[in-house]
Amino acid sequence: MRVIAASNAEIVHYLAVFRRTFRYIAEAGDSEDRVAHVFGGELANVLHNMPGYLRRTEPDGWLDGRVTDFPAKMRASAPEPIATECARIFASDDDLNELGLTADLSNLDLAPPDRLHAYLGVFRDAFITLRGMRNYGGNDKFWLGVDAEWSNAVTELARITAWIARRLQDVPRHLVQWSVFDEQAFLSADCEPPSRIAGLFQQMMADLQGTG
């Protein structure tokens, strides 16, 4: 039996952050906004270790300061649209609405530890892939150097990352409404991943099937 050491409040907050991040990356993929594409990669890079921290068995010391400091870093240096979007993604004000939970958490129906552990592992793997978009920003101030690094191949990568994010964006909500989540329908859904990530996606689904 897996043990999730993080509190319910911590789990709820970061699942909401994950959902907002996946949705942002999915929506960016439908746009021509190159800065948004790269910012999605920055978000994934900052968050890629957080699922692992949430899965740790130690109750203390799991929170990564790099994650909690990121909104302030963007507020101090990034253009207003990025800073505002970053603050929205990491803020806790709308977490309950994001996940469809009531104010008293009376309808919180968290996935069993084994299943939560498995899906957090998939989020980690997804973020590691999604963060590839950050390589096309040029430097820490990615909003200044995006155009110089762009190509048709990068545009295709942005579409691929959007596909992954779109496939996963509702899963955080399902993990707190477990009894009504048709997991088998999700795992067996007939979807055609982009050929470039077909193997990766199939492995993610196999990992979830194997831990079911």
Residue 138's DSSP bridge partners are none
pTM: 0.91
The CA distance from 90 to 92, in Å, is 6
Q: CA 198 → CA 69, 157, 206, distances in Å?
A: 34, 13, 12
| Each residue's pLDDT tens digit, 16-38 | 999 999 999 999 988 888 899 99
The CA distance from 135 to 47, in Å, is 16
pLDDT at 67 (0 to 100): 87
Q: Does residue 198 have a pLDDT over 80?
A: no
State the distance between the two ends of the chain, measured CA to CA, in whole angstroms. Answer: 12
The CA distance from 133 to 155, in Å, is 10
Percent of the chain with pLDDT over 90: 57
| Each residue's pLDDT tens digit, 150-164 | 788 888 888 899 999
Positive or negative, the CA dihedral 171, 173, 178, 182 is negative
The residues near 35 (Cβ < 8 Å, ≥ 6 apart) are: 82, 142, 143, 146
Domain boundaries along the sequence of the chain: 8-210
